[in-house]
Amino acid sequence: MYWLAFRLVETFTGISLPKAALIGPGLRIWHFGNIFVHPEVKIGANCTLRQGVTIGNRHPDGPVPVIGNNVELGAYAQILGGVKIGNNCRIGAMSVVLHDMPDNSTAVGAPARLIDEPHTELNIAARLVRLPMPHYDT
């Protein structure tokens, strides 16, 4: 019965979230459709997936990602292989993550690369202090 219901929901919504995947509470799916999650994936609490996200292995029977808490994945982001995504990470739209990401980091690109410093409140406040004020001629 489960298999039939799973296939109907998967076909109707375009979302594949198998019951074997370990998904923490508070998963948000914004802009549903074309989302695939491997059955062995572990996803932490309060994560956000947008349309077109794939979380799976790179090779048949290969390792799968482990995703921390409060992770945001942009549209069509791909996380592939046995990578570990830390807590409070952001992955940009259309990024392909093939390597581990530390806590509080942001990755963009294909293949994804880490950008900037970890986005902690202290770093954000320090950056705001250093920003030059725009000069407008009157």
Write out pLDDT tens, residues 55-93: 999 999 999 999 999 999 999 999 999 999 999 999 999
Q: Which long-range contacts (CB under 8 A, 24 or more apart) does 67-72 make?
A: 67/41, 67/42, 67/43, 68/44, 68/103, 69/24, 69/44, 69/45, 70/44, 70/45, 70/46, 71/43, 71/44, 71/47, 72/47, 72/48
pLDDT for 97-122, tens place per residue?
999 999 999 999 999 999 865 555 55
Which domains are seen in the chain, by residue range?
Answer: 2-130 (2.160.10.10)
pTM of the predicted model over 0.75: yes
Report the residue count for the chain.
138
pLDDT at 91: 96
Q: Per DSSP, what are the bridge partners of residue 23?
A: 43
Per mean pLDDT, which range of 1-5, 10-14, 26-30, 131-135 is the poorest?
Answer: 131-135
